[in-house]
């Protein structure tokens, strides 16, 4: 990491939060804004620079960072993510130490810092497993656009040739950056990261750790600590804005005339009134009831309720509302509030006094329609913490008439605040849940599959994620408020309409989907994946004797024929025990509309095909790992002659020693009619043994 010296502001030596622009660290100037500790209220840092050259930053990303990333394959970029995640993992402690000043506890750090690092690892793995070791991502199957297959179509995705501007929220200064950065870099697009000022000193440290690793190609990552200036006014058609924060701020940014004029891609993950439903079957005394209380308590107190996925609205059957309130009263009473560095503390401070004031203002609005039944912001124990921190207790409100209420379905207090409401039946619960007009997540605690299905059908359109949990899954479930990199994180309507993460789906946000049309040879050349009908390459040596690197896309081996006899079919039936009537009884098979009479087993054909194309000697083929897309196309009867065409369709590196070869296998009869087709997967050594 680079050496950072403090600077004097208002007679105090505080941390100088820098920006990283066009390859250089830029210190603050007189326009810098003070940052206060959430725990003590003291000024601990300053951030901002009014003279930041945003035009130079954009040019540096587009002209240097973009070409550097696009020169790499998806697998090379995935390996880069893995190396970055490992490097961050080796330097977690400084990030932990810095994050305490945001009001976060050590458990909160595990979500933000370890969670962010884990997210990078997942994208690295998915990049290696689900994306090609090339530069073009194939989206979907080939479409036949002509009768004879000489004119085809395919959707491809290639990296946008601009820059991704990431505008992040204050609550997760590390995870919030990494969950956007990982898919962006994997796509091949450089990023400019703009964290929220109140916690940007943690993000700056994480960026410094990554840059100091020497792993990132030049121009791929830049940092703005403070304001963006006129950067949004300078974005073009190839750029992307990814935003996390309030709906009001998202609306302001979306409405930028330049963004509208150039149709700049805008991904938003906004605040939302996430809900949790106690299923009708989850009565007091059941594991599901206890789980429900635990989930609500955790979501109210983790990160002091400052989570975009936290539970804001709680719905319970009318008959169980009092029991839920009492159970939460007992559970929340055990929440020790205080200095987040103290291991005994279960909930720290809000990120700032301004955020505390905003939560109190929103809680007062909710209080006009609901009664506060737990938590008094004027009277709670700080357990030795100083009085100048941005602390609040968990506050639970009870709205007895949710149908007549409006504020509880419209106003989010972004802190340790939630409102419990009764429902009369499941349809009523679904209707109330949907009144939030779009959320990131809604959860249902139930052991009734019919309840889950009805909620999925009735509420799915209003929520980005539906989380179901019960006694079966609770030991391994990750929790209502835990977005996972494998799954979509976003939601419709009020939640912003965007989608982050979601595995490869998240990567495609930073790529352009293009329809290509042409001959099989053209599609093969573009996608680096053999398309049936494309030119075949022949070689004098059997392909199973050739190493991974020696094989070429389109290399094809044609086998001699083998006649299928009645004895073959009978022996296969006896040997395997598969005596399905179509293989044993000629008259019964003839009555079947699919068969002309007694036919060979499909798996007999696969076995005989392997016997025709396998080269038995020890060589570079290490293992057969499976087959995909098997189709039986025409029955084979005794007397038919079977032959095989084996073609190298695609190659994917796996590790330093071997890679996966995907073979296109076509079985034909004596009339050259296709009888079966599939894709064979083998692991092949890089060097011939």
User: Is 269 annotated as catalytic?
Assistant: yes
CA distance 535 to 522: 10
Burial classification of residue 384, based on how many CB atoms lie within 10 Å of its CB (0-12 exposed, 13-18 middle, 19 or more buried): exposed
With a CB cutoff of 8 Å and minimum separation 6, the contacts of 78 are: 123, 124, 125, 126, 127, 128, 131, 186
- 179, 200, 204, 269: the catalytic one is 269
Give one DSSP letter per residue of 273-301, joined into a string: --EEEE-TT--TTSHHHHHHHHHHHHHHH
CA distance 610 to 606: 6
Strand pairing category for 442-445 and 674-685: unpaired
* Helix extents (H) in 174-256: 175-187, 200-212, 247-254
Contact 636, 651 (CB under 8 A): no
463, β-bridge pairs: 439
With a CB cutoff of 8 Å and minimum separation 6, the contacts of 541 are: none
CA distance 485 to 506: 9
What distance lies between CA 334 and its chain's CA centroid? 34
User: Is 308 annotated as catalytic?
Assistant: yes
Contact 243, 267 (CB under 8 A): yes
CA distance 180 to 189: 11
- 157, 200, 308, 399: the catalytic one is 308
186, β-bridge pairs: none
CA distances from 224 to 11, 165, 168, 190, 195 (A): 25, 10, 11, 14, 7
What are the two backbone dihedrals, phi and then psi, of residue 658, each rounded to the nearest 5 degrees?
-155, 165
Q: What 3-state class would DSSP assign to 49?
A: coil
Go through 524-548 and write b for each residue having 16 or more CB atoms within 10 A of its CB, e for each that does not.
Answer: bbbbebbbbbbeeeeeeeebbebbb
CA distances from 254 to 183, 410, 646 (A): 22, 21, 52
With a CB cutoff of 8 Å and minimum separation 6, the contacts of 139 are: 155, 156, 157, 508, 513
CA distances from 411 to 361, 498, 636, 641 (A): 10, 20, 67, 73
Contact 275, 455 (CB under 8 A): no
With the C-alpha atoms ordered 85, 87, 92, 94, is the resulting torsion angle positive or negative? Answer: negative
Residues with a known catalytic role: 269, 308
């Amino acid at each position: 990491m680079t050496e950072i010296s403090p600077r004097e502001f208002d007679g105090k030596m505080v941390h100088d939060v820098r920006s990283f622009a066009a390859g250089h660290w830029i210190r603050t100037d007189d326009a810098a804004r003070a940052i206060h500790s959430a725990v003590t209220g003291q000024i601990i840092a300053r951030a901002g620079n009014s003279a930041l050259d945003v035009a130079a930053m954009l040019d540096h990303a587009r002209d240097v960072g973009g070409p550097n990333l696009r020169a790499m394959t998806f697998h090379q970029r995935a390996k880069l993510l893995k190396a970055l995640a490992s490097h961050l993992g080796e330097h977690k402690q400084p990030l932990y130490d810095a994050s305490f000043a945001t009001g976060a506890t050590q458990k909160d750090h595990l979500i933000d810092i370890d969670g962010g690092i884990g997210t990078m690892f997942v994208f690295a793995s998915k990049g290696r497993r689900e994306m090609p070791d090339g530069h073009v991502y194939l989206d979907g199957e080939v479409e036949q656009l002509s009768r004879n297959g000489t004119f085809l179509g395919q959707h491809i995705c290639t990296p946008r040739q601009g820059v991704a501007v990431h505008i992040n929220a204050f609550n997760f200064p590390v995870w919030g950056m990494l969950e956007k950065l990982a898919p962006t870099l994997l796509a091949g697009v450089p990023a400019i990261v703009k964290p929220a000022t109140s916690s940007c000193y943690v993000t700056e440290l994480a960026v410094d750790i990554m840059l100091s690793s020497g792993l990132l190609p030049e121009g791929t990552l830049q940092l703005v600590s403070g304001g963006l200036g006129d950067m949004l006014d300078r974005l073009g058609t190839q750029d992307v804005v990814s935003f996390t924060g309030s709906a009001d701020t998202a609306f302001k940014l979306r409405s930028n005339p330049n963004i509208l004029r150039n149709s700049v891609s805008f991904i938003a993950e906004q605040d939302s009134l996430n809900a949790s439903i106690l299923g009708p079957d989850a009565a007091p005394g059941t594991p599901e009831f206890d789980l429900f209380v635990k989930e609500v308590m955790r979501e109210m107190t983790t990160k002091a309720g400052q989570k975009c996925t936290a539970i804001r609205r709680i719905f319970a059957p009318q008959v169980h509302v009092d029991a839920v309130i009492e159970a939460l009263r007992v559970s929340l009473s055990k929440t020790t509030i205080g200095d987040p560095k103290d291991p005994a503390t279960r909930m720290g401070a809000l990120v700032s006094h301004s955020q505390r004031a905003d939560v109190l203002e929103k809680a007062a609005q909710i209080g006009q329609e609901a009664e506060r039944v737990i938590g008094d912001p004027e009277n709670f124990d700080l357990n030795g913490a100083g009085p100048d921190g941005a602390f609040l207790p968990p506050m639970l409100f009870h709205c007895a008439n949710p149908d007549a209420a409006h504020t509880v379905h419209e106003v989010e207090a972004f802190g340790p605040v939630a409102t419990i409401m009764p429902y009369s039946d499941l349809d009523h619960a679904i209707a109330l849940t949907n009144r939030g007009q779009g959320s990131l997540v809604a959860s249902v605690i139930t052991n009734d599959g019919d309840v889950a299905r009805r909620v999925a059908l009735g509420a799915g359109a209003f929520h980005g994620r539906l989380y179901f949990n019960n006694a079966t899954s609770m030991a391994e479930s990750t929790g209502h408020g835990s977005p996972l990199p494998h799954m979509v994180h976003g939601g419709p309507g009020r939640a912003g309409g965007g989608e982050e993460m979601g595995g490869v789906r998240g990567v495609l946000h930073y790529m352009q989907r293009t329809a290509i049309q042409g001959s099989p040879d053209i599609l093969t050349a573009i996608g680096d994946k053999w398309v049936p009908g494309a030119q075949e390459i022949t070689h004098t040596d059997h392909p199973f004797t050739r190493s991974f690197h020696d094989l070429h896309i389109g290399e094809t081996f044609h086998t001699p024929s083998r006649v299928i006899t009645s004895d073959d079919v009978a022996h296969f039936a006896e040997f395997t025990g598969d005596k399905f009537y179509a293989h044993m009884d000629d008259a019964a098979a003839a009555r079947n509309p699919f068969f002309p009479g007694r036919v060979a087993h499909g798996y007999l054909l696969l076995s005989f095909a392997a016997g025709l194309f396998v080269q038995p000697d020890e060589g570079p083929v290490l293992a057969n790992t499976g087959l995909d897309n098997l189709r039986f196309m025409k029955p084979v009867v005794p007397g038919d002659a079977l032959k095989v065409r084996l073609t190298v369709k695609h190659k994917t590196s796996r590790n330093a020693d071997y890679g996966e070869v995907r073979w296109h296998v076509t079985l034909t009869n004596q009339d050259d009619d296709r009888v079966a087709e599939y894709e064979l997967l083998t692991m092949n050594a890089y060097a011939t043994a």
